[in-house]
Structure 1
Amino acid sequence: MEIRQLRYFVQIIESGSLSRASQRLHIAQPALSQQLKQLEEEIGKPLLNRSSKGVTPTESGLALYHHARFLLRQFDQSIAIVRSEAGAIRGMVSVGLPATTVSALGLQLVRRVRQRFPGVLLNVVEGMSGHIGQLMRLGQLDLAVLFSPDLAPDLVTEPLMVEELFFIIPEHSALIPAGRTAVSLAEAAAVPLILPTGVHGLRQRIAAEFENRGLSLNVVAEIDSLSLLMNCVYDEVGATIKPMGAVMQEQPKGRRWRCLSFSDVAFQRRNFLYSLPSERLTPAAAVVAAEIKETVRELIEGKAWPGFEEPAA
């Protein structure tokens, strides 16, 4: 099995057809088909389901695809390190961040890495925590910030920060009287809410807190897009419950928000930094992990935004 064959196979899967893959790889389709045939013969199992609409991976093909993606990334990073001058840190680092974390840390993190490690190509993948967690489990990310401490036993996990969850409405909203700085869970339950769908950890965390008090959520919309959710909240479709990161990129747009604490519950969410085991973590990924932690430390110590705390020892 050759690295070249793995590259071809990954491109076939991601293209959805041999013809599109051959165009992107600049290889004649018969030659590409021959490479695929050799790979299937070496594996001893079919790797693709073929139809008039294109190709999809078999169960074996999907397993090979995930491992090939990881191996190719490691191979490319190794080549970059060997080619770089002595002592320089180079390579691509894939970091998975939920949308609110991107709002809180993203720009500052990219700026820091670019200034301090110009040889590092930072690949930031934004998504809902469930999707980020799946990519991390599959080895397609080097680092990720997630909200559960037990994603997978073979990954390294360390506490990163604690976020307070706020009841968020636009400044002009009449849902809660002006001048209030806090609301109770009962008051939040009485207003229309816009929340993520139930498969995501934040929604489960919110639902559990209300259920513990015997309260029902008045959910009028379920939206997994942070930008659309905040647009709807600003348009007064309903309020939401989010960490401060949800509004950290909103003020430059001219929007002003009221972020009210909860008066009768310590409503918080713990953040964890996940990384690959040390034997699989590249030098580039190690320095980016350190920059993530330093960015968080500065965010907390700067106190420019409320709601961020260091994790308990």
Structure 2
Amino acid sequence: MDIRQLRYFVRIVEMGSLSKASQSLHVAQPALSQQVAKLEDQVGKQLLVRSSRGVTPNETGRALYHHARLILRQFEQAMTIARSDNGEITGVASVGLPATTVAAVGLPLVKRVREKYPGISLNVVEAMSGHVAHLIRQNRLDLAVLFSRDLPSDLSVEPLMVEELFLILPGESDLLSGRDSVTMSEMAKVPLVLPTSDHGLRKRIEAEFESRALFPNVVAEIDSLSLVMNAVHDKIGGTIKPMGAIMQEGQRGRSFRCLRVSDASFHRSNYLYSLPPNALSSAASVVAHELRIVVEDLVASSEWTGFFPRPEPGDRPPASSREIA
């Protein structure tokens, strides 16, 4: 078994087709099939299920795929280290961030890494938290920020910060004019633009309403942060989000009001996930360190409210706080 065979196998699984993998790798399909056959002979088991619709890995193939991705990542990191001749930390580090987290810490993180570690190529992937979780489970990310700590135990996880959730309205809206807080019963009367029902945040919001025999007045369901904020700005409705949702809006000349919920405590814990220490590159380790510093600066800043320090070991989360996926 060699690196080339593993690289071919991983690409075939990801493309779901020998012909597509052949085109992507610029390798003739018969030669690619021959390498797969050799790999299956070495493993002693079939790895792929072939059909008219393409190829999919069986249980053994899926297990090899996950380990192969990790081996290829470690091999690339080793080659990067070997090629470096001045001790500078170099390499690629990938981090997955949900949209509101990107808005809050994305640019400061990119700036810090670029200034302090120019040899690191930082790959920031913005996606919904469920997709980010999927990517790091597949070893396709080095680091990820997520809102629950129920991912597989082979990943390292640590608390990062706690966010407060606000009712966000357009700056010029007549709704709840002059107010800086709102009750749950008042919020039930506000037209809301919320994530779709599969989203963890939506479930959390609905549970809070239902506990008071109330129902949110949902006028639109949108999973795109930019579209949600456009809809709010155009006075289609308000939304319930952390402060990160509006942190880049001032640069666009748009203003919003953030109202605290006075009779419910909406908090969302943020967790930093990473590959196991033995699989984490030096580049990814320093990016994780810089991310912690960016978050600490955000929490300490007087410019923005609604960000709280990560709980120390043994501490309890804020009162009434619940994890939101």
TM-score normalised by structure 1 residue count: 0.92
Work out whether 1:200 is the aligned partner of 2:199.
yes
Equivalent residues in 2 for 1:93-108, closer than 5 Å: 93-108=93-108
Does 2:265 match 1:249? no
Q: How many percent of aligned residue pairs carry the same amino acid?
A: 61
Cross-structure match for 1:36: 36
Q: CA deviation at 1:143?
A: 1.3
Please say which of residues 262-271 and 148-157 is displaced more in the overlay. Answer: 148-157
Alignment of 1:67-146 (within 5 A): 67-146=67-146
Q: Equivalent residue for 1:214? A: 213
Inter-partner Cα distance in structure 1 for 2:36 and 2:97: 35
Provide closer, same or farther for how the CA distance between residues 92 and 194 of structure 1 changes in structure 2, counting only shifts above 3 A: same
Question: How far did 1:165 drift?
Answer: 0.4
2-structure distance, mates of 1:53, 1:150: 34
CA-to-aligned-CA distance 1:114-151 (integer Å, 9 cap, x gap): 11111112121211112222222333322111111333
For 1:300, what is the secondary structure of its paired residue? helix
SS at match of 2:311: coil
User: What is the 5 A alignment of 1:54-69?
Assistant: 54-69=54-69
Mapped to 1, the partners of 2:255 and 2:274 lie a distance apart of 36
Whether the 8 Å contact between 2:11 and 2:21 is mirrored in structure 1 is yes
Once residues 144 and 80 of structure 1 are traced to their aligned partners in structure 2, the CA distance between those partners, rounded to angstroms, is 22
Q: In 1, distance between residues paired with 2:206 and 2:270? A: 19
Q: Report the residue type matching 2:149 in the other structure.
A: P
1:155-211 superposed Cα distances (whole Å, 9 cap, x missing partner):
32222111110101212323x232111111111112222222233322222222222
Label 1:260 to 1:60 Cα distance change in 2 as closer, same or farther (>3 A): same
Structure 1 residues 139 and 20: alpha-carbon distance in aligned structure 2, compared to 1, 3 A threshold = closer
Q: Report the Cα distance in structure 1 between the residues aligned to 2:169 and 2:60, rounded to whole angstroms.
A: 49
SS in 1 for 2:268: strand
Report the alpha carbon displacement of residue 50 of structure 1 after superposing the two structures with TM: 3.3
- In structure 2, C-alpha distance between the alignment counterparts of 1:46 and 1:217, rounded to whole Å: 52
Superposed, 1:222-241 pairs within 5 Å as 222-241=221-240
**1:44, distance to aligned residue in structure 2 (A):** 3.3
| Whole-angstrom CA distance in 2 between matches of 1:19 and 1:139 | 25
1:279 aligned partner: 278
The CA deviation at 1:52 is 4.1
- 1:301 CA displacement: 1.9
Task: Look up the SS of the partner of 1:132 in the other structure.
Answer: helix
Measured against aligned partners, the alpha-carbon deviations of 1:257-281 in whole angstroms (never above 9, x if no partner) come to 1111112222211111122232222
Deviation at 1:240, TM superposition (A): 0.9
Amino acid at match of 1:275: S
Answering whether residue 308 of structure 2 is matched by residue 301 of structure 1, we say: no
Q: CA deviation at 1:81?
A: 1.3
Cα distance between partner residues in 2 of 1:234 and 1:14:
40
Query: Once the 2 structures are TM-superposed, how far is the Cα of residue 59 of structure 1 from its aligned partner?
Result: 3.7
Shift of 1:53: 4.2
8 A Cα contact 2:99 2:128, kept in partner: yes
* Aligned residue in 2 for 1:25: 25
Q: Distance in 1 between matches of 2:65 and 2:150?
A: 25
Deviation (angstroms), 1:86: 4.4
Check the 8 A contact 1:66/1:140 in 2, yes or no.
no
2:172 maps to which residue?
A: 172
Kept in 2, the 8 Å contact 1:169–1:257? The answer is yes
Q: Which consecutive unaligned segments of at least 5 residues does structure 2 have?
A: 313-325
- The separation in 2 between residues aligned to 1:154 and 1:85, in whole angstroms, is 33
Contact 2:70–2:279 under 8 Å retained in 1: no
AA in 2 matched with 1:24: S
Name the CA shift for 1:218/1:156 in 2 (closer, same or farther; >3 Å).
same
When the two structures are superposed, what TM-score results if normalisation uses the length of structure 2?
Answer: 0.89
Q: Single out whichever of 192-201 and 182-191 deviates more from structure 2.
A: 192-201
Quote the Cα distance in structure 2 between the aligned partners of 1:166 and 1:257. 11
